[in-house]
Amino acid sequence: MSGREENQQLPGTGLIAILGAGSLGRLWAGYLSAGKVAFVPRHGSADVSGADSLSYRLQRFDGSAASVSIPWLTSSSEQPSVLLVTTKAGDTLGALESRLPELPCDTPIVLFQNGMGSQQAVAERWPRRPILAASTTEGANRPQQGQTVHAGRGETRVGALTDRARPFVKPVVQALAASGLKVHAEPDIRQRLWDKLIVNAGINAFTAILNCRNGDILNSRFYLERIDDLCAEIAAVLEAEGGRPLTPAMIRERIETVAQSTANNTSSMLSDRQKGRTTEIDFINGYVARRGQAHGIEVPVNQMLTERVQQLSADPEAGRPGNQNKPGAS
Ligand SMILES: NC(=O)c1ccc[n+]([C@@H]2O[C@H](COP(=O)([O-])OP(=O)(O)OC[C@H]3O[C@@H](n4cnc5c(N)ncnc54)[C@H](OP(=O)(O)O)[C@@H]3O)[C@@H](O)[C@H]2O)c1
């Protein structure tokens, strides 16, 4: 191991700051709350007005529930030892642009976004900061105001995106593991992000377009007529990107294994669509399409899925299969 990769202690006194007080941020804060955790308020927002903490009920995976109260980070708070970023992919660069100037250059930043593209944008914007990415299969949602549910138990892999981040991987893993959640160091986080992206690219857009649960896509003509071409596009882009090669058949098997094992789940993309929120399509099939175009690879299925989900966000009736008369639905 080179000198640069030797473990480095986290700066500060152990405070974990979380930017993005949504489902995943509240999950981590709730499990870490025995230690020192604070939410970073949205820049210039009134997040902290009237309350110096955010309180909610956390329903743990074992069925127990606890009241959690997490302080907001203020200008008089101590400097955090690590910043977890749990905003949606499309909000991440903007959120960090407004908050990073206040953070010392040696504070590790851990990006939790699904898909790909947002992590690369952050690492390219701040190449000399310790930027890490986490790929997690933990699942959290907020069925009602004031309640966060740990809906799926999984594990979290953490790895370095920038060279400066390498010495921080182990101490960050240790700090996160204090939550009791399963956390591991990941030597090849890009491959891990691709592994998750592949599955999301084969499930999420179909569920959003078909308005169905994960398992239901497997019986849909819309899915069955496109999945092999989609997998061939993903395999070609993955290879061109230098990822661990997978055949289209292996990709399809991975997608369908997860669709079956999560058959009754509502994907985050369908959930966003149902709530009228911006989806992460640009960082899933949209990312595959952009990387394919950059390599001169034809990616019509990824492009079509991206456009249809984008249309659904703009007009909930557009882009549905069978609604071919709608502009842009073809
Ligand atoms: N939830 C999960 O189980 C899970 C699992 C794996 C990965 N992920 C990934 O984790 C990321 C977050 O997911 P999520 O489900 O937690 O989403 P979420 O519930 O929508 O949470 C995102 C939070 O970020 C806040 N935010 C947006 N812009 C901000 C800014 N500029 N400054 C500060 N806060 C800002 C949002 O505030 P507003 O609500 O006010 O907009 C919201 O509270 C996504 O990329 C997702 O794919 C989630």
42 lines ligand 1 (CB under 6 A): yes
Sheet of 37-40, strands arranged across: 37-40, 16-19, 82-85, 109-111, 131-136, 156-160, 183-185
Q: What pLDDT, on a 0 to 100 scale, did the predictor assign at position 43? A: 79
For domain 3-187, which architecture applies?
3-Layer(aba) Sandwich (3.40)
| pLDDT, average across residues 247-269 | 97
**Residue 149's pLDDT band (cuts 50, 70, 90):** very high
CB 268 within 8 A of CB 280: yes
pLDDT of residue 3: 43
Q: Which residue has the higher pLDDT, 6 or 10?
A: 10
**Predicted pLDDT at 77:** 86
**pLDDT interval class at 50 (50, 70, 90):** low
Every domain of the chain with CATH number 1.10.1040.10 lies at 191-314
Q: What is the pLDDT of residue 92?
A: 98
Instruction: Report pLDDT digits (tens) over 173-222.
Output: 999 999 999 999 999 999 999 999 999 999 999 999 999 999 999 999 99
Residue of 95, 67, 94 whose CA lies nearest to 83: 95
Averaged pLDDT of the chain: 92
Separation of 89 CA from ligand 1 center, angstroms?
Answer: 8
- Residues contacting 318, CB < 8 A, separation 6+: 308, 311, 312, 326, 327, 328, 329
| Element (DSSP H or E) covering residue 16 | strand 16-19
Q: Is a pLDDT exceeding 80 seen at residue 19?
A: yes
Residue extent(s) of CATH 3.40.50.720 domains in the chain = 3-187
pLDDT value for 316: 64
| 63 C-alpha to ligand 1 centroid (Å) | 23
Give pLDDT, residue 85.
98
Decide whether any atom of ligand 1 lies within 6 Å of the 112 Cβ.
yes
Say whether 196 is catalytic. Answer: yes
Of 36, 88, 196, 275, catalytic: 196
For the domain spanning 191-314, the CATH number is 1.10.1040.10
